[in-house]
Amino acid sequence: MIVNVASECGYTPQYQQLQELYEGYGDKLAIVGFPANNFGGQEPGSNNEIKSFCSLRYGVTFPLAAKIDITAHPVYRWLTRKSENGVADSRVDWNFQKYLLDENGCLIRSLPSSASPLDDEILDWLNS
């Protein structure tokens, strides 16, 4: 799962749910958070500040990439362009949008920011 994250967003408490998911399904799920300041200036911190915040406030142990600009980063270019991922075009509308990839790195689907990391759609996918 790839998630664009931010420390000052209304969805920031999803860090806790992402950590629960990571702890509960770590044998079959990798989560990578990509801090980004693209929406509302909600990730103003440095990489060290972001990591410290996530660790101290939410106990995050899943990997966090260095802060990116999702409009220019190659991972997000791949995730959002059907011509590159072979599955679908998408647009990142806000922080905490989730992208599900299979064990071979193929895009399965994206879920909106409002979808909880513990949403039935994600849990069903993991349990299938």
> What pLDDT is attached to residue 117?
97
Largest Cα separation within the chain, whole Å, is 40
CA distances (Å), origin 115, targets 48, 56, 69, 101: 27, 24, 22, 16
Give the CA count within 13 Å in the CB-facing half-sphere of 72. 6
Whats the size of the chain, residue-wise?
128
In the three-class reduction of DSSP (H, G, I as helix; E, B as strand; rest coil), residue 69 is classed as coil
Structural domain spans, the chain: 2-127
| % residues pLDDT > 70 (the chain) | 100
> What pLDDT is attached to residue 31?
98
Q: What pLDDT, in 10s, does the model give residues 66-84?
A: 999 999 999 999 999 999 9
Catalytic pick among 1, 2, 6, 9: 9
Burial class for 87, CB neighbours closer than 10 Å (0-12, 13-18, 19+): middle
> What pLDDT is attached to residue 127?
93
Mean of pLDDT values over 93-99 = 98
Mean of pLDDT values over 96-113 = 96
What dotted CATH number matches 2-127? 3.40.30.10
User: Model pTM?
Assistant: 0.95
Examine the residue annotation and report whether 106 is marked as an active-site residue of this protein.
no
Kind and range of the H or E run holding 74: helix 74-80
CA atoms of 14 and 107, how far apart (whole Å): 22
